[in-house]
């Protein structure tokens, strides 16, 4: 279950031609994007160290290293001088490298900040967001990472979604950082108790490649979805899952890669989610925000930041099941319109079902750049430096009015150059850009700024406690 073994450990100082040592003593430098601190060996080689805090003196076990490597990676396995914000006890023993490496095993990923108190985690995330904005967007701003409403003091019990790998013995597990190995997991403190209560670790899930669990924050029926390996023994798996459904109310779905639709083995093929007065049915493989408090917080905050008014036209890009579409539809009313663009067939179908009775909402399935190019062809190849006029346009002929405001919530890769250029050409009044990766956000903000846009505000939310991840909301105006 360890990651790739190191070259033979060699004691002594590493030189350019010698094998690296197994362990090093290092003074940790600043935090960097990706969740590690940056340290340097006496020879000046950069080492990306996980599970440490800036300024600490630590013993580091090298996990990726080689005499020719440009930089090395390692985990903290001993703390010689601790930061006062280091916790006495890690939030999750299986993710604590001090414990796991002592028995020769890599820690699981998913709680790489679990050694630090929450305020220290938030300070590290704020530093990363500010640094990315400065370096990639040329934007100097003080960032505060806001705790989520009702946060547990140790940052546990927030995940309503989790996926597990399955090991060779059919047990659920998780991967160590940058490893394909599977570490069996029986309890995961970051999930809602409802997930642990399923006791999936007691089942033999041989034949499943991955197990996704969705447990709505309001305690309604959870859903377990199996991604089946080719040739999986479905009858045996169904019998195994019947042990679970016999002891509690839970839905079960399954799908092999070559099948179009998930099959319901028990209960319903979706979970029911709520935010404000709205209700969604989200399929097993559909997208929904992971933090239990995120839908309630974001479903208004993000469309409000974009600021649509009655009769206006709003665009919800990377819309998922339509978390922001719902508040937009309320704000613009039936005199206005909302176009929600979502690439996943499953998630866009969820959105279509939800908004079937809202005439002002139109759900477009497809890649954002392609849908924008289809609805507003004049934005596909913007002429340099010229903003399109806001008069009657080709888009009107196709039934989509030019957007007044836009929400942009892409996956980690960010929106990218094409979409940014298309939005610049469409020239909405305001864009609210929600991002789970501050580096790609900063890259895209840099492009908007070079096109003459102004970043009006930046907020950041601690939506992934005990991990290095952070959610950032930037509001842009031309």
Ligand X SMILES: C[S@@+](CC[C@H](N)C(=O)[O-])C[C@H]1O[C@@H](n2cnc3c(N)ncnc32)[C@H](O)[C@@H]1O
Q: Which is nearer to ligand X, 37 or 289 (CB)?
A: 289
Single residue of 37, 121, 289, 395 touching ligand X by CB under 6 A: 289
Nearer to ligand X by Cβ, of 289 and 472: the residue is 289
Q: For residues 331 and 338, give the distance between their C-alpha atoms in angstroms, rounded to a whole number.
A: 10
The only residue of 92, 164, 265, 287 in contact with ligand X, by rule CB under 6 A: 287
- Report the residue number whose CB is nearest to ligand X: 320
CB of 206 to ligand X, least distance (A): 29
Q: Given the complex with ligand X, which of 56 and 437 has the nearer CB atom?
A: 437
* Token pair of 172 as six digits: 């659920």
Options 116, 165, 254, 436, the catalytic residue: 436
The distance of closest approach from Cβ of residue 235 to ligand X in the complex, given in angstroms and rounded to an integer, is: 32
User: Any idea what DSSP says for residue 126?
Assistant: H
Of positions 411, 450, 456, 457, contacts ligand X by CB under 6 A: 411
Among 15-23, 90-98, 217-225, 282-290, the segment contacting ligand X (CB under 6 A): 282-290
Subset of residues 290 to 329 that bind ligand X, contact rule: CB under 6 A? 318-321, 323-324
For 273-296, give one letter per residue: b (16+ CB within 10 A) or e.
bebeebebebbbbbbbbbbbbbbb
Cβ(409)–Cβ(324) below 8 Å: yes
Residues making up the binding site for S-adenosyl-L-methionine: 289, 318, 342, 409
Neighbours of 402 (CB within 10 A): 21
For ligand X, give the closer residue by CB, 199 or 274. 274
Options 42-50, 118-126, 283-291, 442-450: segment touching ligand X (CB under 6 A):
283-291
Using alpha carbons, select from 93, 38, 143, 83 the residue that is nearest to residue 470.
143
79 forms bridges with which residues in the sheet? 58
| Nearest-angstrom CA–CA distance, 18 and 67 | 6
User: Is 343 a binder of ligand X (CB under 6 A)?
Assistant: yes
Going by their DSSP bridges, the two strands 263-266 and 251-256 should be labelled as: antiparallel
Alpha helix (H) residue ranges in 115-166: 118-137
For ligand X, which is the closer residue by CB, 120 or 262? Answer: 262
Binding segment toward ligand X, per CB under 6 A, in 120-128, 339-347, 382-390, 420-428: 339-347
CB 65 within 8 A of CB 73: yes
The SS3 assignment for 43 reads coil
Which secondary structure element, helix H or strand E, spans residue 298, and what is its range? Answer: helix 294-306
The C-alpha atoms of residue 332 and residue 358 are separated, in whole angstroms, by 11
The C-alpha atoms of residue 145 and residue 462 are separated, in whole angstroms, by 6
Cβ neighbours for 113, distance < 8 A, ≥ 6 positions apart: 35, 121, 124, 465, 466, 467, 468
Cβ proximity to ligand X, 110 vs 410, nearer residue: 410
Q: Assess 372 for contact with ligand X (CB under 6 A).
A: no
- Minimum CB–partner distance for residue 439 and ligand X (Å): 15
Binding residues for ligand X, rule CB under 6 A, total 19
Residue 354 in contact with ligand X, rule: CB under 6 A:
no
d(CA 72, CA 197): 40
In the region spanning residues 112 to 171, those forming contacts with ligand X, defined by CB under 6 A, are: none
CA distances (Å), origin 96, targets 289, 388, 447: 26, 55, 39
For position 339 contacting ligand X by CB under 6 A, the verdict is no
The contact pattern for ligand X, residues 2-41, with x = CB under 6 A and - = no contact, is: ----------------------------------------
d(CA 82, CA 74): 17
Name the DSSP class of 332: H
Asked if 368 touches ligand X (CB under 6 A), the answer is yes
Which residue among 117, 273, 404, 409 contacts ligand X (CB under 6 A)?
Answer: 409
Could you say which of 112, 196, 342, 437 contacts ligand X (CB under 6 A)?
A: 342
Stretch that binds ligand X, among 52-60, 150-158, 167-175, 286-294 (CB under 6 A): 286-294
In the complex with ligand X, the residue whose CB is nearer, 179 or 344, is: 344
CB 352 → ligand X: shortest distance, Å?
Answer: 14
Cβ count near 37 (within 10 Å): 25
Name the 3-class secondary structure at 477. strand
Q: Is 436 a catalytic residue?
A: yes
Query: Helix, strand, coil % (nearest 5) of the chain?
Result: 25, 25, 45
Q: Looking at 131-139, 152-160, 242-250, 284-292, which segment touches ligand X (CB under 6 A)?
A: 284-292
| Least distance from ligand X to the Cβ atom of residue 366, Å | 7
- The token duo for 346 is 């499953």
Q: Least separation, in Å, of the C-beta of 433 and ligand X? A: 11
With binding defined as CB under 6 A, does residue 280 bind ligand X?
A: no
Residues involved in catalysis:
436
Q: Which residues bind ligand X (CB under 6 A)?
A: 287-289, 318-321, 323-324, 341-344, 347, 367-368, 409-411
């Amino acid at each position: 279950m360890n990651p790739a073994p190191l070259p033979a450990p060699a004691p002594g100082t590493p030189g350019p031609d010698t094998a690296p040592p197994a362990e090093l003593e290092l003074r940790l430098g600043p935090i960097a994007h990706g969740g590690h601190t940056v340290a340097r060996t006496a020879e000046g080689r950069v080492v990306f160290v996980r599970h440490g805090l800036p300024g600490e003196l630590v013993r580091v076990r090298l996990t990726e290293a080689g005499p020719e490597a440009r930089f090395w990676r390692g985990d903290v396995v001993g703390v010689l001088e601790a930061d006062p914000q280091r916790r006495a006890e890690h939030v999750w023993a299986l993710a604590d490298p001090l414990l796991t490496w002592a028995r020769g095993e890599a820690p699981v990923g998913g709680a790489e900040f679990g050694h630090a108190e929450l305020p220290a985690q938030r300070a590290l995330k704020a530093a990363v967001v500010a640094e990315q904005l400065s370096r990639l967007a040329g934007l100097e701003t003080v960032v505060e990472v806001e705790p989520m409403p009702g946060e547990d003091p140790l940052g546990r019990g927030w995940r309503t979604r989790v996926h597990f790998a399955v090991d060779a013995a059919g047990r659920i597990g998780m991967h160590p950082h940058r490893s394909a190995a599977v570490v069996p997991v029986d309890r995961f403190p970051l999930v809602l108790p409802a997930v642990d209560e399923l006791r999936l670790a007691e089942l033999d899930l041989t034949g499943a490649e991955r197990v996704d669990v969705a447990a709505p924050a309001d305690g309604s029926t959870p859903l377990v979805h199996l991604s089946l390996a080719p040739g999986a023994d479905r009858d045996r798996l169904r019998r195994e899952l019947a042990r679970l459904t016999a002891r509690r109310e839970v839905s079960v779905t399954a799908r092999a890669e070559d099948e179009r639709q998930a099959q319901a083995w028990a209960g319903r093929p979706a979970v029911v989610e709520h935010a404000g007065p709205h209700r969604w049915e989200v399929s097993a493989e559909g997208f929904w925000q992971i933090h239990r408090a995120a839908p309630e917080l974001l479903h208004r905050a993000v469309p409000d930041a974009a600021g649509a008014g009655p009769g206006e036209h709003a665009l919800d890009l990377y819309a998922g099941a339509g978390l922001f579409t719902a508040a937009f539809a309320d704000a613009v009313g039936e005199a206005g319109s909302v176009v929600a663009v979502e690439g996943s067939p499953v998630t866009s179908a969820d959105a279509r079902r939800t908004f079937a009775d809202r005439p002002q909402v139109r759900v477009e399935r497809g890649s954002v750049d392609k849908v924008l190019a289809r609805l507003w062809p004049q934005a596909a190849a913007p002429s340099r430096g010229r903003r399109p006029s806001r008069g009657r346009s080709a888009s009107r002929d196709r039934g989509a009015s030019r957007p007044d405001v836009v929400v942009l919530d892409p996956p980690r890769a960010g929106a990218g150059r094409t979409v940014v250029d298309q939005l610049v050409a469409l020239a909405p009044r305001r864009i609210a850009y929600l991002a789970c990766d501050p580096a790609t956000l900063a890259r895209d903000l840099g492009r908007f700024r070079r096109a003459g846009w102004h970043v009006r505000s930046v907020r950041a939310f601690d939506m992934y406690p005990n991990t290095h991840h952070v959610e950032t909301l930037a509001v842009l105006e031309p």
